[in-house]
Amino acid sequence: MIFRLCVAGLLFGVATAPGFSQEFDTFGRSEVLPEPERDWVFVDYSLVDVADDRFLGLIGVAETFPTGAIEYSSDGASLFVVETFYTRGNRGERTDTLTIFDTTTLGVAGEIVIPAKRALMLAITGTLALTDNDRFLAVFNLTPATSISVVDIEAKSFVGEISTPGCSLVFSAGDLSYVMICANGDLLAVTIDENGREVSKERTEQFFDPETDPIREPGVRYGDEWLFVSFDGILHSVDVSGSMPRIGESWSLLSASDREENWRITGRQPLAVHQQSGRLYVLARQNDEPLDDPADWDGTEIWSFDLASRERVQRLEALPESDESDAGGAGLGSTTGDGAANILVTQGDEPLLVSAAGSGVSVRHAMSGEYLHERLQNAPSSGWLSLRVR
Amino acid sequence: MDSTNWFDRRLETGARYLARLTSRRSFLTRLGTLLLGGASIPLLPLSRAAAQAADAGFKDPDIEGDAGDPMSCDYWRYCSIDGFMSPCCGGSASSCPPGTEMSTVTWIGTCTNPADGVDYLISYNDCCGKSPCGQCFCNNNEDDMPVYVTGRSNNINWCLAHSTTAYHSTVALVLGRADA
C-alpha cells in the first residue's frame, strides 16, 4: 500500500503545476447559514435564495400530508411547525409537538408536546398563529370539536386549550389576541392574558355571508389588517389593531368586464401583499362556471392592485412562455397544472414576485414584472411559499 | 391506472361535468330548502353518520336504479368527493378496503342520481389506518365549502377522530333522499 501511495504521489507530482499543495478536508463540518436575506423563501420546507437561485437547506419536519404551516419569529431567528408522530410509523400512540427550528442551523432548537388534536387538512394558513409580540403560539385543533392550544414560546411550555365552538382557523391579532373564522360568517376574537390563559371570547358582527359567498381560507396580513378573498372575488378586510376586530369595507377585485369574461380569483395561495407599496397580488383565471373549490384551479394570470386606490396596476401571465410542460397532477392536493398555484412577494425596496406552478418556481421583479428567473433550477418545482424574514 | 392519462380524461370530462353543474347559488337555495324542510339532516351530518355506524352498519338504503360505474370519477355518488375512490383500492362505493376502518365523522354532500333524477344526501367517509391508496383520485367538489364549515368540507382529513389519522381512500354512502 505504501508503495502504491508513493507511485500515486509521483504521478500527482508530475501532472500538476510546481508548488501546488492539496489541502485536506476535515471531517464533520456542516454549514451554518449567515444572516438571513429578504429574498430567502421557503418552498414547503426547503429554504431557497430566490434571487441567486440557490438551494440553502431543508428543515427536517416529520412527513405529514398535507404540508404544515410555518410561523416565524419576527427577528427571523426561529421558526415553528407542528408535527405529528406515531410510535409505530403510521399507527400506535400519537404525539403532537410544536417544534422550534433554529434558522441558522435549520436544526431542532426545542420541542413542546401539545394535545394530539392538531387539525389535519388541506388548508395551511390559519393552522397556527404567533402573537405579534412573538410570545404565544396558537395551534388550531379539529377533532372535530374546534379549539386552540396555546404555547408559551418564551417558557417553551404548553399553557392550555381554549375551546372555540363553531369557529376555526386562527390568525394573530395583536400581542395577546387571535381572531378566528366562524361557520356562520362571524369572527371570534380570543383574548389571552400575560400568561397565555383565556381572558375572553367574543364574536363580531357578521364578516361575510357563507351561504351566498364564503371567503377562502388563505388570508394575508397587511399591516394591522387581515385580507381575505371570497369565492366571488370580493376582498374582505378586518383590522385587528384594537381590542376587538374592526371589519373594513369590502370591494370587488373583478370589474364588470372581468365578470362578463368570467374571470375568477383562484389558486391554492391566491394572495400576496407587498407591505411598503401597498400592492396586492392575486391569481386569476377564466372559467365559465363558478368554481366549487378555487384552490384546485391554478391562476393563469397574476394581477396586482394598489390597495389604496383599488386600481389594478399590473396584469401578468402566470407562466413564462418557455414553460411548455403539462404539470397537472392527479393526487391529493394537486391542481390543474395550467398556471400558478402559489404566489408570494418578498418585502423591502426591491421586492420579488415568486410564483410556484407544478412545473417550477418563477421569480420576477414585483414592480416591473420583468423576469429574474423564468424557472429556478435549484428549488423544488412547487410548494407552499413562505418568507423567513417578514 | 396511468395517472396522467386519467387526469387528461378528467379534464375532458371536467368541462362536461362543469357544464352540467348547477351554480353554487342554486345549491345554496337547495340547501336552504333543506334547512327549512328537513332541519335535522343538514344540522347533524356528523352524528347521523355515527348513528348509522352503530345502527345500520353503514348500509346504503336500497335505491332503485343505482346505475353507473363506481370505479369511474363520473359515478353519480362522487359529485363532491375529493380523494381516492374506495372501489379502486379493494373496497366498494360503500365499503372500505381490507384492513382499513371507516371514519365515523365525515362531510356530507348532495348528489343527483341520474337514474331517477332525485337528490340524495351522500356521506363521504374516509377509510383510515393505512397510507394513501394512490388509485383513482377523484376531485369533484360540488358544493364543497371551506374548512371553517367543517361538516361540508372535503379538504379535511376525516380520519381525524381515529386512533390513527392515516388517510387511505374514501367511500360514498347514500344516506337518504335530500328532500326527505
SS3 A132: coil
Digit-coded pLDDT (tens) for A41-95: 999 999 999 999 999 999 999 876 667 899 999 888 899 999 999 999 888 899 9
Q: Are A351 and A219 part of one and the same domain?
A: no
**Residue A42: C-alpha distances to residues A1, A343, A384 (Å):** 49, 12, 8
- For the record, the C-alpha cell of B113 comes out as 342520481
**How far, in whole angstroms, is CA B8 from its chain's centroid?**
22
The answer to whether residue A20 sits within a structural domain is: no
Q: What's the structural domain count of chain A?
A: 2
**Residue A171: C-alpha distances to residues A99, A343, A361 (Å):** 19, 19, 27
- For the record, the C-alpha cell of A197 comes out as 390563559
Which B residues in the span 75-114 are in contact with A, Cβ-Cβ below 8 Å? Answer: 82-84, 105
The answer to whether residue A109 sits within a structural domain is: yes
The single-letter code of the amino acid at B27 is F
Distance CA B117, CA A85 (A): 46
Q: Are A147 and A289 part of one and the same domain?
A: no
Query: Catalytic residue at B107?
Result: yes
Specify the CATH number for the domain of residue B49.
Answer: 2.60.30.10
Q: Are A181 and A73 part of one and the same domain?
A: yes
SS3 A169: strand
Instruction: Tell me the chain B residues in contact with residue A183 when contact means C-beta distances shorter than 8 Å.
Output: 148-150
Give φ, ψ of A128 to 5 degrees: -150, 150
Q: Are A197 and A337 part of one and the same domain?
A: no
The answer to whether residue A45 sits within a structural domain is: no
Query: Catalytic residue at B69?
Result: no
Concatenate the DSSP letters of all residues of A88-104 into one string: ETTEEEEEEEEEEEETT
Specify the CATH number for the domain of residue A353.
Answer: 2.130.10.10
Whole domain around residue B94: which residue ranges?
3-177
Q: Are A267 and A225 part of one and the same domain?
A: no
Environment class of A53 (CB within 10 Å of its CB; exposed 0-12, middle 13-18, buried 19+) = middle
Last residue of a domain, one of A252, A270, A288: A252
Q: Are A208 and A314 part of one and the same domain?
A: no
Taking 60 as the threshold, does the pLDDT of residue B135 lie above it?
yes
Whole domain around residue A150: which residue ranges?
63-252
Environment class of B161 (CB within 10 Å of its CB; exposed 0-12, middle 13-18, buried 19+) = middle
Please tell me the pTM assigned to this model: 0.85
Concatenate the DSSP letters of all residues of A302-325 into one string: EEEEETTTTEEEEEEESS-TT---
**Which of A64, A86, A90 to mutate: most B Cβ within 10 Å?**
A90
Residue A358 — very low, low, confident or very high, per pLDDT cuts 50/70/90?
confident
Q: Are A209 and A232 part of one and the same domain?
A: yes
Q: What's the structural domain count of chain B?
A: 1
Sheet holding B118-124, edge to edge: B107-113, B118-124, B173-177
Environment class of A26 (CB within 10 Å of its CB; exposed 0-12, middle 13-18, buried 19+) = exposed
Average pLDDT over residues A114-123: 91
Nearest in space to A361 (alpha carbons), one of A72, A48, A71, A36: A48
Taking 90 as the threshold, does the pLDDT of residue A12 lie above it?
no
**The pairing of beta strand A263-265 with beta strand B82-84:** unpaired
The answer to whether residue A313 sits within a structural domain is: yes
Residue A4 — very low, low, confident or very high, per pLDDT cuts 50/70/90?
low
User: Is A217 in Cβ contact with B148 (below 8 Å)?
Assistant: yes
C-alpha triplet A170, A379, A121: angle, nearest 5° = 30
CB count within 10 Å of CB A64 equals 17
Taking 80 as the threshold, does the pLDDT of residue B70 lie above it?
yes
Q: Are A115 and A223 part of one and the same domain?
A: yes
The answer to whether residue A26 sits within a structural domain is: no
Is ipTM strictly over 0.85? Answer: yes
Q: Is the dihedral of CA B106, B112, B115, B120 positive or negative?
A: positive
Last residue of a domain, one of A252, A274, A306: A252
User: Is A121 in Cβ contact with B157 (below 8 Å)?
Assistant: yes
Q: Are A77 and A111 part of one and the same domain?
A: yes
**Which of A118, A121, A226, A297 to mutate: most B Cβ within 10 Å?**
A121
Q: Are A200 and A71 part of one and the same domain?
A: yes
Indicate which residue of B60, B66, B107, B158 is catalytic.
B107
Report DSSP state, residue B80.
G
Q: Are A281 and A237 part of one and the same domain?
A: no
Nearest in space to A293 (alpha carbons), one of B138, B96, B95, B73: B138
Report DSSP state, residue B68.
S
The answer to whether residue A44 sits within a structural domain is: no
Supply the pLDDT for residue A256.
98
Taking 60 as the threshold, does the pLDDT of residue B31 lie above it?
no
Q: Are A283 and A320 part of one and the same domain?
A: yes
